[in-house]
Chain A
Amino acid sequence: MRLVAEGLSARRGEDLIFRDISFEIAGGEALIVTGANGSGKSTLLRVLAGLLAAEAGTARLLAAAQPVERLAEAAHYLGHRNAMKRELTVDENLTFWKAFLGDFAGGAGLSVDEAADRVGLGGIVHLPFGTLSAGQQRRMAMAKLLVAWRPVWILDEPTAALDVAAESMFAGLVTAHLSRGGIAIAATHQPLGLDGVRELRMTGFTGVAETVW
């Protein structure tokens, strides 16, 4: 499985945020997108997730377990917002996403309780999501990545609002995902504690990005 991006450019309003970004990631590899605030990290991730139309260029997933028309279908997207309903319990939230998302070919998601255990919050799935603290909510949003299998994880500032222990827990989740042959793309300011990852440094409005190996 390979994720190939070719000549991606994106525009927000009148401004070209970035242009001509190309990279290729194979299964088991991670790409860390770094750069200053406003340099276009989130925009790049939203383009990859198909939530923003690219001005030019394509991002495709090749040789996946099942052929996909859009990269988004094979991807989890963890954005700034947690995509969980405050009024429902954690269990109801995760059960819904597990049923709605379904598993991509080539893997199976964990059960809700197992996923909550993995993020270190087993035993509180009966609580309404709105009553959890910001850090706990973020962890439960991460549990969403585990309940349905997707080979590609697109993570936008995944560890914001998390303590150090949770950061290392999350690094463990990503490492486990990579060892299953998955792909992870993360925009972050903090080092995620991952080994041997590639880095894409966004330089912002100059419109040029360089890939650091």
Chain B
Amino acid sequence: MIALLARDLKLSMRAGGGALIGVLFFMTVVAVIPFGVGPDLNLLARIGPAILWIGALLASLLGLDRLFQAEREDGSLDLLLMQETPLVLTVFIKCLAHWLATGLPLVIASPLLGLFMNMDEVAIGATTLTLLVGTPAITFIGAAGAGIAVALPRGGLLVSILVLPLAIPVLIFGVSAVYAAIQDPAPFLPPFLILVALNLFFAVIGPVAAAAALRLSSD
């Protein structure tokens, strides 16, 4: 399993792996917002957390369709399916590698992008923390979509559409946790803990659903 994790990380670093594509997309989306919205610093600070979250959500959907499709195209998927190792575990490790390569860079880039949005330290810290907890959930949900669309050519957009409704709760609680941190009366912990719960929930459901979809799609 360590070998699979290491291989997937290596692959994402090599040419065509696309580990940085997500971060670049994230940066592009957030960087153009101030130009579109205008130089109203208070407005930017107010919508900043939401923009960061939406950017991160879209960026993490970007490379998801390749999660299993690349494996299928070169025949590796057949071998992954045949092993004694439970497929759910294999899928979980692949998700983990995908998140480390594409999700974690988003989290690391978010403080810098928070500065673009004129956010203060508390807001930046809360956004980074919620992204750290929330983006794995998006990857796990996306794995289920990627498993369903694995046999479809050009299934990329389909994966995003399939996955988006399920990712909405993550977005809602992620953003509301950040606003709870910066606006005084609302407590930070309840939405944050729900976000953590969503993450754990999808860490189980996502790989199970993806494994079932992969088994059915093999032909």
On A, residues with C-beta under 8 Å from B are: 12, 46, 49-52, 68, 72-73, 75, 77, 79-88, 92, 95-97, 99-101
A51–B74 touching, CB < 8 Å:
no
Q: Mark B1-23, 1 if CB is under 8 A from A, else 0.
A: 11110110011001111000000
Return B92 CB to nearest CB of chain A, in Å: 14
Query: Within residues 51 to 89 of chain B, which ones have a CB less than 8 A from any CB in chain A?
Result: 73-76, 78-79, 81-84
> Quick check: is B40 within 8 A (CB to CB) of the other chain?
no
Return A65 CB to nearest CB of chain B, in Å: 13
- Partner of B76 from A75, A85, A92 at Cβ < 8 Å: A85
> Quick check: is B28 within 8 A (CB to CB) of the other chain?
no
Question: Given A50-B81, A73-B84, A87-B11: A82 and B218 within 8 A (CB)?
Answer: no
Chain B residues within an 8 Å CB radius of A86: 74
A84–B74 touching, CB < 8 Å:
yes
Bound form: Cα–Cα A81–B78 in Å = 10
Return B4 CB to nearest CB of chain A, in Å: 6
> Quick check: is B184 within 8 A (CB to CB) of the other chain?
no
Total interface residues on B, using CB and 8 Å?
A: 24
Closest chain B residue to A50 by CB distance? B82
B16–A83 touching, CB < 8 Å:
no
B3–A96 touching, CB < 8 Å:
yes
A81–B3 touching, CB < 8 Å:
no
Closest chain A residue to B218 by CB distance? A51
Bound form: Cα–Cα A88–B11 in Å = 7
A75–B82 touching, CB < 8 Å:
yes
B15–A87 touching, CB < 8 Å:
yes
B218–A81 touching, CB < 8 Å:
no
Chain A residues within an 8 Å CB radius of B6: 96
Question: Given A51-B81, A92-B10: A100 and B3 within 8 A (CB)?
Answer: yes
Chain B residues within an 8 Å CB radius of A72: 81-83
Closest chain A residue to B216 by CB distance? A53
Chain A residues within an 8 Å CB radius of B17: 87
- Partner of B11 from A52, A82, A85 at Cβ < 8 Å: A85
B218–A83 touching, CB < 8 Å:
no
Closest chain B residue to A87 by CB distance? B14
Return A50 CB to nearest CB of chain B, in Å: 6
Chain A residues within an 8 Å CB radius of B14: 87-88
Closest chain B residue to A81 by CB distance? B75
Chain B residues within an 8 Å CB radius of A84: 74, 76
